[in-house]
Amino acid sequence: MMVENEVINLLELRENEEGEIVFIDAGRMAAQRLSDMGLVPGTRVRLIRRGPLRGPVELEVRNSHLVIGYGLASKIYVKIA
């Protein structure tokens, strides 16, 4: 069972599950790239689908769809909303 408000990695979200970004564990550059695309702490995201193996994930963020590579996505931590 998932404990409420437990912080998990974005990649641990199930398809169609929503989460709220808690923190981003990345260097300045990667954090800047993510925040420029609207991913900052407090942002709600929904995982739409993931690619096969270590493929990218598709997220719904701020009413639009983003594709984020596996490595970059693994730096985002969320709590289940």
Partner 1 sequence: MKKEIVVALAGNANVGKSVIFNQLTGMTQIIGNWPGKTVERAEGTLRYKGRIIKIIDLPGIYSLSAYSQEEIVSREFIAFEKPDVVINVVDASNLERNLFLTLQLLELHVPMVMALNQIDYAVKKGIDIDVKKLEKLLGIPVVETIATKGKGLQELIDKVLEMVDSYKGEDVFAYDIESEKVLKYRPEIKEYVMKIYKILMRYNVPLVKSFHPLWISLKVMEEDEDVIEKLKSTSSGEQAYKEIEKVLGDLKAKFKSPIGTLVTADRYDIASYIASETVSEIHHRITWTDLIDNVVLHKIWGYVSMAIIVFLSFYGIFKFGEYFSGILEDFFDQFKPLVYNLHISEMYKDFIWNGLAEGAISAVTIVLPYIFPFYVFLSILENTGYLARIAFLMDEVMHKVGLHGKALIPVLMGFGCNVPAVLGTKILETDREIFIASFMSTLVPCSARIVIILGTIGVFMGPQYALAVFALDVLVVYVAAYFANKIAPGKPYDLIMELPGYRMPALKPTLKQIWLRIKDFLYVALPIIVAGSLVLEILKYSGIFKYVSYVMGPIVVKWLGLPSIVGIVLIFGILRKELTLIMLLTLAGTTQVSQILTPKQMIVFGIVTMLYFPCIATIAALKKTIGWKKTWWVVFANIIIAILVGGIVNQILNFI
**Interatomic CA distance for residues 16 and 1, integer angstroms:** 17
Exactly one of 3, 4, 14, 52 binds partner 1 (CB under 8 A); that residue is 52
Task: Give yes or no for residue 31 binding partner 1 (CB under 8 A).
Answer: yes
What is the b/e burial string over 57-79, where b = at least 16 CB atoms within 10 angstroms of the residue's CB? bbbebeeeebebeeebbbbbbbe
Smallest distance from the beta carbon of 1 to partner 1, in angstroms? 27
Q: Is 37 in the site for partner 1 (CB under 8 A)?
A: yes
CB of 34 to partner 1, least distance (A): 7
